[in-house]
Structure 1
Amino acid sequence: MIAERALKTLEYDKVREQVASFCTSSVGKNAIEQLIPETDFDKVVELLDEMDEGLSILRVKGNVPMGGIFDVRPHAKRAQIGGMLSPMELMEIASTIRASRILRNFIEDIEQEETITIPHFVERKEQMPILTALQHEINDCIDDNGAVLDSASTTLRSIRQSLRAEESRVRQKLESLTRGSNAAKMLSDAIVTIRNDRFVIPVKQEYRGHYGGIVHDQSSSGQTLFIEPESVVQANNEIQRLKVKEKAEIERILLELSAKVQEVSHDLFVLVQILGDIDVILAKGKYGQANKCTKPTMNKEGYIRLVRARHPLISIDDAVPNTIEFGRDITAIVITGPNTGGKTVTLKTVGLCTLMAQAGLPVPALDGSELAVFDQLFADIGDEQSIEQSLSTFSSHMVNIVDILAKFDSRSLVLFDELGAGTDPQEGAALAISILDEVVGSGARVMATTHYPELKAYGYNRKGVVNASVEFDVETLSPTYRLLIGVPGRSNAFEISKRLGLKESIIQQAKSFTGSDRHEVESMIASLEQSRRQSEREAEEAHALLEEAQRLREELQERLRTYDEKKENLEKKAKEKARKIVDEAKKESEKIIAELREMRANASKVVKEHELIEAKKKLENAAPQENPVLKKQAQIRERAQNLKVGDEVKVLSYGQKGTIIEKVSDHEWVVQIGILKMKLDESDLQYVKPEKEKQTVVMTNVKNRNSHVKLELDLRGERYEEAILKTEKYIDDALLANYPRVSIIHGKGTGALRQGIQNYLKGHKRVKSFRYGEAGEGGFGVTVVELK
């Protein structure tokens, strides 16, 4: 267990107060006030994991429903010994049970969503006793304000109904007196009021005998008497009797509910404990969010690495972050430097962060921080001079140090502030070195601050010890509060004096007293400081570049993952769509084949030509159609594969035409575009037909297309159905041949064929108009058709 003295010295109680302010219940606040650092490694890791789960829930959900929780353990304890609970106490029990049910449902929802993993919260949810039945029984009898409801029992409802009726009659009777003919003269005020729990009226002193009855009170002047008239005494007595019955019934109901609380009192203790634990975990998470804290990694080796850590009790805007690392090869840090430079703050930052982590709290440092679990933590910080014990500053420090040296071991963190101060400098420095040797030699982790220049060389002469200092800006004559590990502090007295206007001659004379060795040491330290600043700047730049590279890498990985997912989904959809198309085509073709078989089987039935044509079209349409875009791409790829030197091509990426002049490989060609020669992949090339070849193809196509289509169609002697089919096909061919006008010869005959053809032409969308032929065109035996 961590010593109480160290907790007090490092002001750990102030951190607890800050965390407690984020609790939503008194149970959680009381638990935070008792929160102490753990020394068991597994327990510390578990506490930090719980806190991290709470942080995850807060990040995802924003808030957790924790309202309506009361510390009902005293109520349950009183119920255990047979006491009667008040309505308000019972209401608090019901509210706490309801809050637990809401919280349990909230955790179950997160568990089902699977957005985050919260095993510790799920475990606590499973441990929560389910007391919903008790909650409903209490809510059926008591409202949210702690009043017993009429519905608590039929007896209570009956009593209250009678009571309200009796009170109404008394009021009506008294109000009739206040409205009487002499009321204005005899009464101080025309109202009905209550004294001693009985209805009365205010009567002037001189008319007290007019109403008779009982005097219950009088005004401060004695001029008004509050009288219960004799006519309502019996009614008021009945009201009192009913109130006594009401009170007895309420007590019976409360005793009955208290007995039910007694039955589950142990479960209530467990429930409150679990709710308090969850409130504490969430308070830690909220504290971490508010103060930009992170979860540190824990180890058993005494290794400490705090990345840009801040003192927890200094506001974020004012605190100067420092990176502190030691505990493996280096087990001790000796910090030197001027007063008010931040040495003590650095010590307290390391000590407080260690205590916070061991208590399951996030620490005010960046991700990647690591802390050790220590069995003991000792701190000798501050001026603890005791007047009562007649101890000097040196003596009070030495008493504390003696106690530390008697108790520490290799699994301890020891913090010394101004070690050896308060006595002769030479003796104090010697004591400081000896004490450090004792503690460092035992394997403990040590941080110490000192003013003594003799300790500046301590880190160079001892294995496992490193010097450090707090930076001082000579230009502004103020500390920067930045910690420089590996660089001992140097005196800035001469530089400060010079900046403040001290004569140069005095400064030079003072330097002559210090000796050449001192000058060399100061110059060396100054050079180390300069090198340290430069290396830190370079490290920060490198870190920024590394972070940017990592961010870009993660972004590219995410894009690649998204691309792969989309590609896979599109392939699945395409395969599914293709399968459906093929299935539909199979079904349609099978249906058509079945119809054709039926036609063949029914030999007696005459199968018309247009029915066969329609069946053939259906069969052609049932086949899956190739995607025109994919077909075009395939044609481009096919053309690219057949390229040869001398071909004219279009470069797709540039939109320019060029000529192939050389083949580089199976998939690469050298193309000349104007005066430029470029090596391009064949997938970027599209074959372009020469103009002469295009014209020849077009002319051939036109000639072939038109050569078999005549300007007239002779239907004489055709059956009606065949004539209609031929007319339909002829009109389509004429439209494809771009004929503006055609003639259909149907003969005169009975006129049935002529009428049928003209009826067909009326319904054709591409027929502009039609007429009978002129005398030289065949007259009524020919229909001339104008096409659109």
Structure 2
Amino acid sequence: MRVNNNTKVDLLINQLDLNEHINLFKQFFSRQSSLYMEGDQELHYRYIKALDSIEFKAPPKVADFFTIKVHLKKHGVLLFEQIFEIVKVVRYFRYFKNKEVKGIIGEWMDKFEIEPKFLDIEKYFTHEGKFDENLDETLFGLSRRIKEHKANINESLKRLTSSQKLSPYLIDTQIHLLNDEECLLVRGGFNHVLKGAVVGRSSSGGFYVSPDNILKSKEQIRYINEEREAIFYNYAKEFSSKLTDLLPFINFIDKEFTKFDNYQARVLFAKAKDLQLVKSKKDSKIVLNSFIHPALHHAKPIHVDFSKNILMITGVNAGGKTMLLKSILSAAFMAKYIIPMKLNEHKSHIGSFKNILAIIDDPQNVKNDISTFAGRMQEFSKIFEYKDALVGVDEIELGTDSDEAAALFKVILDELILRGQKIVVTTHHKRLAALMADREDVELMAAIYDEANRVPTYEFMHGIIGKSYAFETASRYGISNKIVNEAKEVYGDNSEKLNLLIERGSQLERELKQKHKKVDEKLEELEAKKRDLKEEKEKFFQELQKEKSALKSSYENAINEAKQAARAGDTQAIHRAMNRARKKLPQEKTEPLQTDAEFKVGDNVKYHSKKGTIVSMKDKKEAIVEIDGMRVRAKTSQLKHTQILQQKHKTDVSVNVKRRAGLKCDLHGMRADEAIEVLDKFISDALINGWDEVIIYHGIGTGKLSYAVKEFLKTHPKVKKFEDAPQHMGGFGAKIVSL
């Protein structure tokens, strides 16, 4: 008899100690759902990651639509509670649609078009799911009548509690509600003063009595409620008929809500517990970085590189080998179902497996009359039925001789690998590990033991076979040193030497690991500094660009002001605007060139605070200086020129243009050739100053000067166009020139 898939999953969850984690995860679902999402897992993951970037409220708890849809197919009448389940889903999708989310979530929400016929149903339900009786005049009137009758009942009961005849029999003056009946609590003998029906007894021996004088009001309430129920039934019948017509719409939102519920449960669970959403990749490689099994609290993060076919875990007893095996299988299981987990998602990689199998527990059982080893053989025989599976085997040699088991399981593992399986194995025995240690497709890991403190560290190291530390573990748990020492003698010197060699290799590997860790930390520190410098450089560049842009804008504004002044013919305003523009430009700072001063006879120099004249030179390092009629020998390094020396060539970024380069040129009274020479220089100066528009005054006169100016402007390569000036600026006697 085959175990169904859900039972297999539940069994695996139990074997991997994931029950608490999965049950906590399921609490985030709005309605009961399978862990596995049918369809394209890659597409599901895209939607989940897109939803993870959005802030939203969780959907309400919603019942399954199966029964509802069956009733509608049979044209049955739904209860208001069932109708409201549909209303809740529609209202939630409307809430999400109104968020106007972009991307694939927004495109998904755009598919939800709510039928107008459904709005006619929805409006009758309050936010809490109650039928809104205010929308029906008859129901509203009936509700008001019920309130009036209830008020009469309360008034009658209050009058009875204040009655002098009844007061000796009243245990208290409260109005009690028992079995939906208003009543008074009285002592025995009340029937002499109070007529009514006993509806119950109190623990103290009193009687709960419903007085006869409120029966009429109660009957009226019952009649009204029956009338109301008839009206409610008619509404339910009408709503059910409309919903039957909307069955395709209900099927659609039911299916989409189930999908959305799977997405939101994963997103909100991850956010609530600070977990990561990871999907399995399309290969068989497993790399875990900083993974923590959800069943462990304050655990050390696990780092595993399981890229090969077999991972063999050896080492100290109670050192975490079984939990490492469970962690690898748990990570693969949670990635397959996209269940949030704790790990470094950027440095981890989890492959995809069609089946995940675990052989962990001892199969020995009195009821099935089977030994441990025989049970293990049965479990292994079942594994051969699968392909593309991740298999975890704890204590692989459990229940039989280790040497024989090593040979048997080596062949079994070889056969499983040929079937495309990936296997994690834990063992205390080194025989099997030694047989397979030199293979390229086998990865070794060992649990590390703290020799100084004689405790496991719950850390693991790649590439070595670990010692089991059976003797040390026995001592730690109370076995006397005498017994342990005798056991060591029985064990033999050669075996102990082998263990010492294994441990020495382990120690050297740990030391190398520590050195690698320090180097990695240093590299990470350098990378962080490099990133900081890059960010700072980018920041400065952006600030520089911003300043350049601001200066350019400011300068252009000043230029525009100058142009406006030029059009108005205001020369002073032009110069003021130009000065403002120059001040707003960044000024280039040039350092004066350092030159070695040269001296010659006859130069006027300064020696300390006295001035004099060089009368003779000795080489270029000494000079005789005459100061106030006295001659002094001095080094040229102590002398300074008192006259301005001609500087050597230097670069100057500024352009010096004479002040006369304004925006207008007046040629009145000049001969044609003289005027053309002045005009040529004026246009050159205007171009150097950056002007793109100038005005030339030539007058009207005989027309010769005007003709010469026009001919010159036509042939000048930098003149774009020219035209007669407006009347207020000279008319035909002036030209506006665009450069």
Instruction: Compute the TM-score of the two structures, normalised by the length of structure 2.
Output: 0.68
Deviations 1:657-681 (A, max 9, x none): xxxxxxxxxxxxxxxxxxxxxxxxx
The one-letter amino acid paired with 2:43 is: E
Deviations 1:260-279 (A, max 9, x none): 33333443343244334333
Give, in angstroms, the shift of residue 353 of structure 1: 0.8
1:446 counterpart residue number: 423
1:285 to 225, 246, 267: 267
2:57 counterpart residue number: 65
Q: Is this contact kept in 2: 1:195–1:217, CA < 8 A?
A: no
Taking the aligned partners of 1:398 and 1:196, their CA distance within structure 2 comes to 64
Taking the aligned partners of 1:530 and 1:225, their CA distance within structure 2 comes to 87
Deviations 1:137-165 (A, max 9, x none): 434x3334444334222333344456656
1:105 to 98, 104, 120: 98
Give, in angstroms, the shift of residue 359 of structure 1: 0.9
1:249 counterpart residue number: 231
Are 1:573 and 2:573 matched, yes or no? no
Are 1:263 and 2:245 matched, yes or no? yes
Give, in angstroms, the shift of residue 399 of structure 1: 0.7
Q: Is this contact kept in 1: 2:446–2:466, CA < 8 A?
A: yes
Alignment of 1:734-749 (within 5 A): none
Alignment CA distance shift 1:146-1:122 (3 Å) = closer
Taking the aligned partners of 1:578 and 1:223, their CA distance within structure 2 comes to 97
2:138 to 148, 155, 159: 155
The one-letter amino acid paired with 1:126 is: D
Are 1:228 and 2:213 matched, yes or no? yes
Taking the aligned partners of 1:522 and 1:344, their CA distance within structure 2 comes to 22
Are 1:21 and 2:3 matched, yes or no? no
The one-letter amino acid paired with 1:486 is: G
Taking the aligned partners of 1:238 and 1:294, their CA distance within structure 2 comes to 62
Deviations 1:673-724 (A, max 9, x none): xxxxxxxxxxxxxxxx99998xxxxxxxxxxxxxxxxxxxxxxxxxxxxxxx
Are 1:382 and 2:361 matched, yes or no? yes
2:293 counterpart residue number: 311
Give, in angstroms, the shift of residue 537 of structure 1: 1.0
1:78 to 66, 71, 80: 71
1:473 counterpart residue number: 450
Taking the aligned partners of 1:225 and 1:376, their CA distance within structure 2 comes to 67
Q: Is this contact kept in 2: 1:84–1:254, CA < 8 A?
A: yes
Taking the aligned partners of 2:137 and 2:306, their CA distance within structure 1 comes to 75
Secondary structure, counterpart of 1:415 in structure 2 = strand
1:625 to 554, 576, 580: 580
2:125 to 132, 142, 154: 142
Alignment of 1:317-396 (within 5 A): 317=298, 319-327=299-307, 330-366=308-344, 367-396=346-375
Q: Is this contact kept in 1: 2:321–2:426, CA < 8 A?
A: yes
Are 1:583 and 2:557 matched, yes or no? no
Taking the aligned partners of 1:72 and 1:342, their CA distance within structure 2 comes to 42
Deviations 1:95-135 (A, max 9, x none): 332222222333x24x2xxxxxx53x335423445368735
Give, in angstroms, the shift of residue 511 of structure 1: 5.1
| Greater mean alpha carbon deviation, residues 79-88 or residues 194-203 | 194-203
Q: Is this contact kept in 1: 2:12–2:357, CA < 8 A?
A: no
1:718 counterpart residue number: none
Unaligned runs of at least 5 residues, structure 1: 112-117, 209-213, 594-614, 648-688, 694-788
Alignment of 1:630-645 (within 5 A): 630=585, 633-634=587-588, 636-637=589-590, 640=591, 644-645=595-596
Secondary structure, counterpart of 1:247 in structure 2 = helix
The one-letter amino acid paired with 1:323 is: H
1:426 to 379, 403, 427: 403
Give, in angstroms, the shift of residue 463 of structure 1: 4.1
Deviations 1:429-474 (A, max 9, x none): 3322232232234443222122323223123354422333212223
2:526 counterpart residue number: 549
Taking the aligned partners of 1:336 and 1:311, their CA distance within structure 2 comes to 20
Secondary structure, counterpart of 2:457 in structure 1 = strand
Deviations 1:23-55 (A, max 9, x none): 676535x12xx21488x9xx3433444443344
Secondary structure, counterpart of 1:481 in structure 2 = strand
Taking the aligned partners of 1:485 and 1:150, their CA distance within structure 2 comes to 72
Q: Is this contact kept in 2: 1:72–1:93, CA < 8 A?
A: no
Structure with more contact order per residue of length (Cα contacts < 8 Å, sep ≥ 6):
1
Q: Is this contact kept in 1: 2:447–2:458, CA < 8 A?
A: yes
Unaligned runs of at least 5 residues, structure 2: 599-639, 645-739
1:755 counterpart residue number: none
Alignment CA distance shift 1:522-1:262 (3 Å) = same
Give, in angstroms, the shift of residue 247 of structure 1: 3.0
Give, in angstroms, the shift of residue 17 of structure 1: 5.0
Alignment CA distance shift 1:630-1:35 (3 Å) = same
1:96 counterpart residue number: 89
Aligned length: 588
Secondary structure, counterpart of 1:446 in structure 2 = strand
Q: Is this contact kept in 1: 2:315–2:469, CA < 8 A?
A: no
Secondary structure, counterpart of 2:304 in structure 1 = strand
Taking the aligned partners of 2:210 and 2:348, their CA distance within structure 1 comes to 80
Give, in angstroms, the shift of residue 356 of structure 1: 1.0
Q: Is this contact kept in 2: 1:299–1:370, CA < 8 A?
A: yes
The one-letter amino acid paired with 2:98 is: N
Taking the aligned partners of 1:204 and 1:264, their CA distance within structure 2 comes to 60
Instruction: Name the Cα RMSD after superposition.
Output: 4.4
| Greater mean alpha carbon deviation, residues 345-354 or residues 366-375 | 366-375
Give, in angstroms, the shift of residue 171 of structure 1: 8.1
Taking the aligned partners of 1:10 and 1:571, their CA distance within structure 2 comes to 64
Taking the aligned partners of 1:105 and 1:396, their CA distance within structure 2 comes to 59
Q: Is this contact kept in 1: 2:392–2:425, CA < 8 A?
A: yes
Secondary structure, counterpart of 2:211 in structure 1 = strand
Q: Is this contact kept in 2: 1:307–1:322, CA < 8 A?
A: yes
Deviations 1:328-354 (A, max 9, x none): xx3212222243222211111111111
Taking the aligned partners of 2:247 and 2:582, their CA distance within structure 1 comes to 74
Give, in angstroms, the shift of residue 357 of structure 1: 0.8
Taking the aligned partners of 1:168 and 1:310, their CA distance within structure 2 comes to 63
1:785 counterpart residue number: none
Secondary structure, counterpart of 2:399 in structure 1 = coil
Q: Is this contact kept in 2: 1:297–1:368, CA < 8 A?
A: no
Taking the aligned partners of 2:112 and 2:281, their CA distance within structure 1 comes to 32
Higher helix proportion: 1
Give, in angstroms, the shift of residue 291 of structure 1: 5.5
Q: Is this contact kept in 2: 1:412–1:445, CA < 8 A?
A: yes
Taking the aligned partners of 1:479 and 1:313, their CA distance within structure 2 comes to 19
Q: Is this contact kept in 1: 2:16–2:330, CA < 8 A?
A: no
Taking the aligned partners of 2:199 and 2:281, their CA distance within structure 1 comes to 80
The one-letter amino acid paired with 1:18 is: H
Report percent identity of matched pairs: 19
Taking the aligned partners of 1:199 and 1:362, their CA distance within structure 2 comes to 54
Taking the aligned partners of 1:587 and 1:20, their CA distance within structure 2 comes to 78
Q: Is this contact kept in 1: 2:325–2:424, CA < 8 A?
A: yes
Give, in angstroms, the shift of residue 533 of structure 1: 0.5
Alignment CA distance shift 1:72-1:584 (3 Å) = farther
The one-letter amino acid paired with 1:447 is: V
Give, in angstroms, the shift of residue 72 of structure 1: 5.6
Alignment of 1:723-742 (within 5 A): none
Taking the aligned partners of 1:7 and 1:195, their CA distance within structure 2 comes to 46
The one-letter amino acid paired with 1:446 is: I
Give, in angstroms, the shift of residue 625 of structure 1: 0.9
Taking the aligned partners of 2:178 and 2:227, their CA distance within structure 1 comes to 20
Give, in angstroms, the shift of residue 403 of structure 1: 1.3
Secondary structure, counterpart of 2:318 in structure 1 = coil
